[in-house]
Structure 1
């Protein structure tokens, strides 16, 4: 019974209304049946004797007729009760069917405005926050709920607009002082016979400026992936992006003497922003190289299913804790000193990947391999290369 009651609101309303109708019908039929027991039953004319005997000699015969009459009355009363009981059961069965039908109709009518609100709210996303439910009608609880949702959408739209403005302005406002400091260092070092301390200080400052610029670039990409709309969705080959990322990192792969098992297929397509998807693949490949051990291995493959385009990157290494691996998609999360990478690492690599995958309606799976190492799977909606 608990499982039946724990279904949808429509089912619960149907059961509630049907139970109310059926209970009322049962009560009415029960009262009718109980009151029928006090009714006086009359005999048909043909059941009444034509003449009642008189005189002492006929006393025994009269008593016999009275007993016969009583039995006939009892039989007639029993038949009436039986017919009433059968009729009541039939009426009860009909009432049960009618109660369920009426309960379902009433539940549908009561929940119709809520279904409309749910469908409209589900359709609204970050790309069309300007849409509103705009429910009309009397000022009841349903309209109050719709107005509350409209107010929430208005606040979300304002918040998203402010974040987009920040992403657009921060790239200019924050990069300008970095460029100025870098130019000042170049001027200081370009002077004739600069002091050794000046050259050393300029080198350290350039390194720190590179780290700040790299971190800023990561922040901007993360913010753009989380809060920007993807209006320029085009067919993109994950295989081609993976090949470009491997080629760009060829020197690092050679320096670490890594073995690359290339199972990349070019005909694995998805739809989205090419710049963001390229950054996603680059970050996954960079993570596999930077956080790998010397003379280790990388297995990279692309494949597709009827609904998804998959990029899978695996690396070897020590056995990792899955609970810690699950937190790698958060900004600045790392797996101890052995996976922190170089000092220039921003700690945003996989969090940027997670944001880009989510923005494209996909899913990111990080799995600690039982044999050691990490398996990264980016699953995006599949598309055809002929789309455009």
Structure 2
């Protein structure tokens, strides 16, 4: 019974069908045995009515003959029982094999529509909820299940679309009052000899407005990344994007006295939206800088493994909990207040990275390094470089960048 409860449905159906067939065969053999078990009673020959009884000598010879015949009959019955038993065991062995084969065939036939539904459902994600199972056939339980899944997908598609529209529209609408507030601050500060308190208040408000504007920008990028596969696809060099991101944050790197181990290769290409991919690299680098410790270290590298172009960013620091690290791709998820840098954090950085990676058909891996710190690997479908497109040739593919260790060379 425990075996039936475990394993796949296919295995359970096979065992149930085989058990049913085998049980029916055993019952049939038992009935045949019972039907053939009746022994015909043969009456010993004796004097017929009116006949003169035989002499004692003849009677003794007849009795011996009867005993011999009885022994022969018993031996014949024993041989018959033995043959029946051997035949029954052979029949049960053959029936067991046939039962398993028929059970497997029937289980496959019964579960075939379910496997089709499962495969189609797996191909449907949050980015292609418009697809439907559209199972055809008789109105049975399987079609009812498929129609229920289609209805669920339709409701989910509407919910996701409404959510994305709301985020995008809200972000756009909030930019107008933000612009009005900035203009009002500029007017107040531009007056002759503004009060010192006005200048201080204007500076604080500008800082908060910048944070809100940064948050809204994150919402817009997140909504665009979650909208689906980018339409403006073009070959992009991950190495060039990484170099630009590092150059743009030179002052922040110097302010924290961070050591950067640069393993960037400019010959690693992918295909997608240059705007979104640039934001992906910038957010990954920003996360490594903002949530790093003073005098810390960063290793950033790009490489190509098989059909994947990879961006790897590693940081040092304290040992992190992997379960909490796995939640960093959720919006507004942080590891704790100590991970909020001096400029503040919207909590959208890695969630935007995850959405952009998914929109480009890649995968994102966040790993807590055993020696401390975080390792971020963004793997995207590799694309040939412009030179490879113009002149196809066999080139060696550099392997994935190795894990960063404290003994590796670094430069600031």
TM-score range, shorter chain: 0.7 to 0.9
**Counterparts of 1:371 and 1:89 in 2: how far apart (Å)?**
64
Taking a change above 3 Å as real, the CA distance of residues 104 and 234 of structure 1, as seen in their structure-2 partners, is farther
Long gaps (5+) in structure 1: 43-52
Mean Cα deviation higher: 364-373 or 158-167: 364-373
Mapped pair 1:330 → 2:330: yes
Are the counterparts in 1 of residues 18 and 102 from structure 2 also a CA contact under 8 Å?
Answer: yes
Offset at residue 213 of structure 1 (A): 0.4
| Change beyond 3 A, Cα 1:125–1:25 | same
1:251 and 2:247 aligned: no
Q: Are residue 213 (structure 1) and residue 213 (structure 2) matched?
A: yes
The secondary structure found in structure 1 opposite 2:295 is coil
Distance 1:3 1:305, change over 3 A: farther
Flag structure 2 segments of 5+ consecutive residues without an equivalent: 43-52, 391-412
Cα displacement (A) at 1:18: 1.0
Whole-angstrom CA distance in 2 between matches of 1:80 and 1:312: 79
Aligned pairs (5 A) from 1:220-369: 220-369=220-369
Taking the aligned partners of 2:323 and 2:227, their CA distance within structure 1 comes to 28
1:265 Cα deviation (Å)?
1.5
Contact kept in structure 1, 2:127 and 2:226, CA below 8 Å: no
| Distance (Å, rounded) in 1 between the aligned partners of 2:329 and 2:378 | 12
Partner Cα separation in structure 1 for residue 322 and residue 124 of structure 2: 35
> CA separation in 1, counterparts of 2:215 and 2:5?
53
Contact 2:10 2:108 in 1 (8 A): yes
Residue 377 of structure 2 is matched in structure 1 by 377
Determine the structure 1 residue equivalent to 2:82: 82
- In structure 1, the residue matched to 2:12 is 12
Structure with greater helix percent: 1
Give the Å deviation of 1:340.
1.4
Q: Report how far residue 169 of structure 1 moved.
A: 2.2
TM-score, normalised via structure 2 length? 0.82
Counterparts of 1:319 and 1:94, CA distance in 2: 61
CA distance in structure 1 between the aligned counterparts of 2:209 and 2:19, rounded to whole angstroms? 73
- The offset of 1:183, in angstroms, is 1.7
Contact preservation (8 Å) 1:160, 1:227: no
Q: Is the 8 A contact 2:308 2:380 kept in 1?
A: yes
1:49 is aligned to: none
Q: Does 1:57 align with 2:68?
A: no
TM-score, normalization: structure 1?
0.86
Q: Over aligned residue pairs, what C-alpha RMSD do you find?
A: 2.8
Give a deviation string over 1:189-225, Cα, whole Å, max 9, x none: 3334444443333222222211110111122223333
C-alpha contact 1:235 1:387 (8 A) present in aligned 2: no
Point out the more displaced range, 174-183 or 123-132: 123-132
Determine helix, strand or coil for the equivalent of 2:148: helix
Find the aligned partners of 2:311 and 2:17 in 1 and give their Cα distance: 52
Other structure's SS at 2:111 match: helix
CA distance in 2, matches of 1:109, 1:266: 53
Aligned pair in 2 of structure 1 residues 336, 63: CA closer, same or farther (>3 Å)?
A: closer
Structure 1 residues 36, 229: closer, same or farther in 2, change over 3 A? Answer: same
Residue deviations 1:100-144, cap 9 Å, x none? 222122212211221222222223333432232233333322122
Aligned residues: 378
Show the 5 A alignment for 1:23-62.
Answer: 23-40=23-40, 54-62=54-62
Matches for 1:123-142 after TM superposition, within 5 Å:
123-142=123-142
Cα pair 1:126 1:229 within 8 Å, conserved: no
Query: Could you say what secondary structure the match of 2:226 adopts?
Result: helix
CA distance in structure 1 between the aligned counterparts of 2:24 and 2:89, rounded to whole angstroms: 14
> Residues 242 and 264 of structure 2 are in contact (CA less than 8 Å); yes or no, is this contact kept in structure 1?
yes
Look up the SS of the partner of 1:330 in the other structure.
coil
Please give the per-residue CA displacement for 1:9-68, whole angstroms capped at 9, x wherever unaligned: 1121111111101110011102212332213288xxxxxxxxxx9423322221211111
The reply to whether residue 199 of structure 1 matches residue 191 of structure 2 is no
Give the Cα–Cα distance (whole angstroms) in 2 for the partners of residues 156 and 187 of structure 1: 47
Q: 1:343 to 1:150 in 2, by over 3 A?
A: same
Distance change (3 Å), C-alpha of 1:129 and 1:327: closer
Structure 1, residues 328-347: CA drift from partner, whole Å, max 9, x if none? 33333444454311244323
Name the stretch that deviates more: 327-336 or 299-308.
Answer: 327-336
